[in-house]
A and B are shown apart, each in its own frame.
Chain A
Amino acid sequence: MDSDTKRFRDAVEARFARQVESLTDSAELRTLEEGRATPEQCDAFIENVARAHLRSPQLLAFLYALAPPAAAADLRHNLLEELGLEDDAGRSHPELLEDLLAGAGLAHRLPDVAACADEDLRRIVVDPLLYGTLREVGLAALTEIVAFEYMLARVSGRFARALARHRELPPPALAWFTHHSEVDVAHAEQGLNDLEAYVRYYDFTEDEALTIVELALRENVFLRRYWR
């Protein structure tokens, strides 16, 4: 679909933008930003963010295994960064999420949050697959990962400010959010390139690829993960 890749990219980006708009317009985010969330709701949000991303290295490793040559270097870089092994990366992202829980006084919740994250991963493996081959499964998974990068580049700073203002979290606890607000601008752009490379390498037609993207984004993936 060489001649269609620009149209595919634009269509995917438009769907990401709609999902982000739906998040930023949501009652859930407004409640958090306006300081109307109860402490329990704030804590649930923090735990859900940690649960959603605590096992991201495993998911990135899966995507790295499926990566087409043109996207392999990007995905390897993202994986090493998640693991805190890229140049000057410092702490791994799961460790930053642990810092978030600890800074919010929720360190004691880490075993339960980790167990939920493990169960989420387990269900991906044991639930019946919707698609017939890894080609489609990989596209659906990559779509969701890139959608989060696209969203975090635009909204994670707002999450951090809301939690600093209304939950009084100190900057070190918010490092996961601030890090993503900085690096994911590049990640999101690069992620769209990787999606293009993926559909080209694995010979998707535009219709076929967009259908899988739409299925992956049928509901707002951000609200589903952060406000369970």
Chain B
Amino acid sequence: MRLVGATLYALRIPFVEAFGHSAGERRCSDSVVVRVRDEAGTEGFGEGAPRPYVTGETVATMLDHLTGELWPRVAERELPSTGHLAGLDAFLPDTRLPGVVAPHAARAALELAILDCMLRRAGRPAATVLPPRRPRVTYSGVVTAGPIDRAVRHARQMRAVGLHHVKLKVGFDDDIARVAAVREALGSEVSLRLDANGGWTLARAVEVLTAVAPLGIAAAEQPLPRDGDLAALRSAVPVPLMADESLVTLADAEALIADRAVDFFNVRVSKCGGLARSLAIAARAAAAGLGVQIGSQVGETAILAAAGRHLAAALPEVAFTEGSFGTLLLTRDVSVESVRFGHRGEAPVLTGPGLGIRVVEKTLRERAVAVRELGAER
């Protein structure tokens, strides 16, 4: 079976409310969704979320990379057999893009679309390639940037819906007061993590983390910029560290392990280049004794949320899981089924064919700011 057509949708779905962190504020999603079609007419959907401050990709570079590099090298080629992510990973070309860390959002979108298509054609669920080890996944909440009183309101809302794990965006002048206020709102029984999105200097990270450590901090995510000295910080503070923007490729993972730089890896499907590469990085973390968080992209739709859920359900050990906010963040999602988590952040494993959701193509068209049709001919 071969792929004969693809459609790229650059989405712009407004958020219910702005989502801020130290690297910026986001008011709408800017994912790119890929729809592929095989000779039999079976369709599959994938998604990537390009982030200039993570992989270096933008919506424009992602569209161009898919159009000019990735799609021409998979169109009209015989697809690998269903059932092995490694075979799909080998089927996809290993491409580079000047000026970016890795074109992983583009690769993830295409990988997920092809996987969804292959599984749907076979009438099989994602459990075929990612057998779940648990029936449900438990998600964390995320308290965004903004005034401290708003952060406290968000923290109370998360407590009201019974979340056990919450992450707080930091990287501001009032971080110590912010962490204290949110900890008080959450109570002592909720696990609290911090995420600076690379917004601290080494000295500031030491200052804040030393001050807030007595409040019980489960981890501090990406305290320094991508090229910051995480190993030096780790030896200086009593808070476990987590790599996010510093961890895009397997080579990044190896370097972080060799440097003993962090305690956790934040593995995100879009950032890490798809499910196969995410699995490889998570396996490397486990072998090195590191914890794993399955993270998400702010504003991702049900497609990436579904992929993240399959990954989180399949790994032997997952410390924290993020995402599946659905219409808690997006004014409209793209699937028939809701992927939003429920009370306590719990959500069941998706069992339908493919990635387990039915994407509404009409919604993609309505919410797209650009649509590209790609054919098989070169």
Mark A residues whose CB is within 8 Å of B: 123, 126-132, 136, 207-208, 211-212, 214-215, 218-219, 224, 228
Contacts and interface: CB of A to CB of B under 8 A. Distances in A.
Interface residues of B, number: 20
5 contacts: A128-B342, A129-B342, A211-B153, A211-B157, A224-B331
A214 B157 contact: yes
A128 B331 contact: no
Contacts of A224: 331
Contacts of A126: 338
A130 B342 contact: yes
Interface in B339-378: 340-344, 346-347
B156 interface: yes
Contacts of A132: 162, 343-344
Given A127-B338, A132-B162, A211 B156 contact: yes
Contact of B346 (A123, A128, A215, A228): A128
B342 A207 contact: no
Contact of B153 (A123, A129, A208, A214): A214
Given A127-B338, A132-B162, A212-B160, 8 more contacts: A127-B340, A128-B340, A128-B347, A129-B342, A132-B343, A208-B160, A219-B17, A224-B331
Contacts of B347: 128
A215 B160 CA distance: 9
Interface string B146-162: 00000001001101111
A130 B161 contact: yes
B177 interface: no
A131 B161 contact: yes
A131 B342 CA distance: 7
A183 B193 CA distance: 50
Contacts of A211: 153, 156-157, 159-160
A219 B156 contact: no
Contacts of B159: 211
Contacts of B340: 127-128
B97 interface: no
A142 B344 CA distance: 22
A202 to B, nearest CB: 14
A128 B338 contact: yes
B156 A123 contact: no
A118 B374 CA distance: 37
B1 interface: no
B331 A131 contact: no
A131 B328 CA distance: 13
